[in-house]
Structure 1
Amino acid sequence: MTRLLTLFAVLLGLAAMTAPARAESYDNVVQAELRPGWRLPNGDHMAALHLRLAPGWKTYWRSPGDAGIPPEFQWRGSRNTRAITPQWPAPVVFWQSGMRSIGYKGELVLPLRVSVKDARGDARLGGVVDIGICKDVCMPHRVRVSVDLPAKATRPDPVIAAALANLPFSGPEAGVRGVSCRVAPAKKGVGLEVAIDMPRGTGREETVIEARDPALWVADPDTGWSGGRLVARTTVRHASGGAFALDRSALRITVLGGAMPVEIKGCAG
């Protein structure tokens, strides 16, 4: 939390230096709604959060990079639901003033797989979503959304289906032949090198590495091709600044900017 607040202060400070002060209603920047979707054969329900942003504005992915603001979801207004799991479409990498962020520009349709307690009955999805939005200024923003999820709705929504079609490919689907991770001591943390044996792409690949433990911070990696493999080097630190164990099998590695987006789960030592 301290790191996030510090990031907000830095971003707002940069904005103050580059843009004249002005009064603006940021409620007009984002239009948010929940698409009710359809009931799946197994009893789950596929819905979606649909965000439309004003021209030039963007919002952030689940792992927004060092210059981004992570989204948070609170679904306390829901009924007849057990769990809500976002299905993230492949994002875009943005660079501004030498800082990297990861997200979506203009529009985001975020599919939400809803586990329903009683699959025979209607459900309701509702709550608040805290997101980051950015143009000349970057700031947190809250939207309130709700929608009924009818049990009899079985026809797929083509807008949600298109977003599901844009999910990253799995490692096997993308032709990944193997992934290895090496760790070494580093100043104030652990150095991590990930080597991915995969078909050569565009040469513009970027990687995002996420740990299962939310207390672990993974810096934006340096990524490039070496010896026929895509290699990402980064540093991992604990929020407390103390020692920690890194479970390499639980790492999630996403490759963006290549021939296709790829999500890889876990790596060997």
Structure 2
Amino acid sequence: MKKRIASSAVLGFLLCSAVTAPAQSVQDVVELDLVPGWRTETGSHMAGLRITLAPGWKTYWRVPGESGIPPTLTFAQSTNVHSVRIGWPRPGVFESYGLETIGYADEVVLPLEIKPTDASTKMNVSVRASIGVCRDICLPVEILFSSDIAPGAGAHEPLISDAIARIPKTVQSQTARCAVEPIRDGLQITAYLPVPAQGGTERVFLEPSRSDVWTSPSKVSREGDTITAVADLVPPEAKPFALNRSQMRFTVLGDKGALEMFGCQAD
């Protein structure tokens, strides 16, 4: 059974064009709810955070692109919840006003692997979602809601299973290499990723462990089964910093698929 308690506040408007658009109710644009799901063999619970958008609107992936708004999902107010791991299905690529953004249109289900503190009692999953939604204008919105999940096996839900199937697979049989050079306001990283072609125009997203580091769009080239990506990493202090190579996350996104690698060895 789904339970939704939602209060939404528009934090501001980011105009995406020179035309001033009328204000629009957040409830008319985006809704969030929890798809309850099932208990796994390991004792965790597989649920889904469903984001439903009005026609023509989109929201953003973990890495939103050149002009997108990065999403933040927190579960701190939940009860009987030990941890939550979020899955991110393969996103789409959108172009608007000459800028490229990465995200989802219409509807997306984010798989949530939830570990209860006590598996014999219900969980109350409380979500604070700070996300961006865009059409002709972009609205940064904050949505608060909670939902109970009863103990027990639950039922497999195709919406969640399909979303899990679209999460980029992790390449574990190969090792990424990366060269790091200091630049005036941070670091430049060149990553060599031994992954097969994913079709069409490939993009590579580089994510350091520090969430406050700005990462430039990467310059991508491919030779055989190795794709090379070059990007700048600029921290708030705007100077070179110590990069933890083992915590780097790389996502290769193509027209036909996506793959991920974690960590890289010095080149």
Establish whether TM, by shorter chain, passes 0.5. Answer: yes
Q: 1:83 is matched with which residue?
A: 83
> Residue in 1 aligned with 2:121?
121
1:222 aligns with 2:219: yes
Find the counterpart in structure 2 of residue 196 from structure 1: 193
The equivalent residue for 2:27 is: 27
More helix by share: 1
- Root-mean-square deviation (Å): 2.0
Query: Is the counterpart of residue 150 in structure 1 residue 154 in structure 2?
Result: no
Q: Contact 1:128–1:143 at 8 Å: present in 2 too?
A: yes
Equivalent residue letter for 2:197: R
Q: 2:181 aligns with which of 176, 181, 184?
A: 184
Instruction: Kindly state the Cα deviation for residue 207 of structure 1 after the two structures are TM-superposed.
Output: 0.8
Q: Is 1:136 the counterpart of 2:133 in the alignment?
A: no
- 1:243 pairs with 2:240: yes
CA deviations over 1:213-242 (Å, ceiling 9, x no partner)? 223221111112246521111101111223
Q: What SS is found at the alignment partner of 2:159?
A: helix
Of 108-117 and 209-218, the range deviating more from structure 2:
209-218
Structure 1: 5+ residue stretches without partners: 1-7
* Mapped contact 1:178–1:198 kept (Cα < 8 A): no
8 Å CA contact retained: 2:16, 2:138? no
Distance 1:14 1:52 in 2: 22
Give the whole-Å Cα distance in 1 for the aligned partners of 2:128 and 2:223. 44
- Tell me which of 219, 230, 233 is aligned to 2:230: 233
* C-alpha separation in 2, matches of 1:197 and 1:153: 40
Deviations 1:160-206 (A, max 9, x none): 1111111101114xxx7442111123231211111122323424100
Point out the structure with the larger strand share: 2
1 CA distance for matches of 2:15 and 2:198? 37
- Distance in 2, Cα, partners of 1:82 & 1:109: 21
Which deviates the most, 127-136 or 200-209? 200-209
The runs of 4+ residues in structure 1 deviating greater than 4 Å are none
The CA deviation string for residues 88-130 of structure 1, in whole angstroms up to 9 with x for no partner, is 1111122222322211111110111111001121111123211
- What is the SS of the residue equivalent to 1:64? strand
Q: Percent identity?
A: 34
Displacement after TM superposition at 1:39 (Å): 1.6
Match runs of 1:9-28 below 5 Å: 12-15=14-17, 17=18, 19-28=19-28
Q: Which ranges in structure 2 are unaligned for 5 or more consecutive residues?
A: 1-10
